[in-house]
Amino acid sequence: MYFWRIGVLLWELRQFFNMCFIKKIINLLIVSTILFASFSCANRQKQALFEKKSTANNSPKKELTPPNYQIKPGDLLQVKNLQNRNLIVNESFTKEKEASNNNHEQTYLVEQDSTIGLPILGRVKVGGLTRRDAANQVQSLYRKELKDPIIELKIINLKVTLLGEVKNQGIYNLLKDHTSLIEIIGEAGGLTDKASSNNLKIIRGGMQNPQIINLDLTDISTLSDSRTLLENNDIIYIAQNKRAIRSEKLQSMSAILQPVIALLNTALLIYTITR
């Protein structure tokens, strides 16, 4: 009987120490999870742009003023007379617009012979011209037919693709001659908290001959870099910063640990009730 009581006491001591060990493991896991969560929350940071005075770029800059885009067959143009928008709009388009009650503007496709068909004027060659030169040419032709026309011409099919850590990814139109990278990022709502402002890439040159331009938005000299003037079909990618990458890894670890902690808590509760 005496030895039996000693045996029971030793078994209870063993169970007690086992329970303490389990508690220590659970506490350690809980503390680790809290630390992971705290570290993740601390990863929010403000974007510090244009803080550096200068930096060396890893590829040569282009000339200060890059050539303007030249109109090509297949381009889609908008031509308006700002004095009277209805004077150079096809009658059939006006009727269709009124019937469908839409606000779309009439467009003109540049044919393979580099011409567009305009009301009153007929076929006008615009291929090979810049947007401004084409607008001036159309305006001078309309001046012979209309009183003091003011012609606005836009190339509406030019676009860039914006990907990565911006608030609104997507495809953005280049409606004016010199659209800068900063303007497009602003139009997209700016960078996210996870963006690496010194690790931005522009992929330029199309699928056949792609070139990667690396840019650093923390460097003030980037503003004067003509490579930031966007071209048709540019792909812009803003990478994640290192803190965001570490944070995602920690969150993944936390997601794995949470069910383990819940399971151990359940086991400890059952043990405490049944002992």
Cα dihedral 50→53→56→61 (10° resolution): 70
**Domain presence at residue 166:** yes
Residue range 33-42: average pLDDT? 51
Please count the structural domains in the chain: 3
**Domain presence at residue 206:** yes
What is the structure's pLDDT at 27? 55
Q: What are phi and psi of 79, to 5 degrees?
A: -125, 120
**Domain presence at residue 39:** yes
**Domain presence at residue 114:** yes
**Domain presence at residue 173:** yes
**Domain presence at residue 222:** yes
Q: Structure pTM?
A: 0.64
* Boundary residue ending a domain (124, 155, 186): 155
* Whether the predicted pLDDT of 63 surpasses 60: no
- Which residues span the domain enclosing 20? 2-44+244-274
CATH number of the domain that 173 lies in? Answer: 3.10.560.10
**Domain presence at residue 71:** no
Given phi > 0 = left and psi -120 to 50 = alpha, else beta, which region is 164? Answer: left
CATH number of the domain that 144 lies in? Answer: 3.30.1950.10
Q: Which residue has the tokens 């399971």?
A: 263
Task: Answer for the pair 73, 110: CB distance below 8 angstroms, yes or no.
Answer: yes
For residues 143 and 168, membership in a common domain is answered with no
Residue range 86-114: average pLDDT? 67
One-letter amino acid of 231: E
For residues 164 and 235, membership in a common domain is answered with yes
How does pLDDT run across 137-173, given as a tens digit for each residue? Answer: 999 999 999 988 999 999 999 999 999 999 999 999 9
For residues 210 and 264, membership in a common domain is answered with no
Side by side, which strands form the sheet with 195-204? 170-173, 159-164, 235-240, 195-204, 211-215
Task: Answer for the pair 162, 169: CB distance below 8 angstroms, yes or no.
Answer: yes
Inter-CA distances, 224 with 53, 132, 138, 227, Å: 12, 23, 33, 9
Residue range 243-268: average pLDDT? 65
What is the structure's pLDDT at 107? 92
* Whether the predicted pLDDT of 237 surpasses 50: yes
